[in-house]
Structure 1
């Protein structure tokens, strides 16, 4: 994989991409999910399993909001 380059991908179900069957999972303005493999890490987020019954705020939701910026 190339480093420091945005890589888009798609998840097809019955020939339809994620924008068709789950557009709510995409960030604003995105047609497909994407990722970047960094050659040097400046920040690191770590997540674990979700515990819906736990009284604290959802940590993965907080991470998602940071990534959306």
Structure 2
């Protein structure tokens, strides 16, 4: 899955940037809701963000090792 996302980031950098913004927005929204509403159900958003960050990190590692931006 990380290899496929790494290739996706090379082929579609705009959509990758939108994914990063969406995950960051979800993180901010979950933080806000968790502080204001004080319900732990909004903590599940952190789990989703952690999975996405793991995917982004793995894809970045694969991209730097095996994919070239030039070719």
TM-score (norm 1): 0.29
Report which structure shows greater RCO (CA 8 Å, sep ≥6).
2
Higher relative strand content? 1
Query: TM-score, structure 2 length as denominator?
Result: 0.29
Determine which structure has the larger helix proportion and give its number: 2
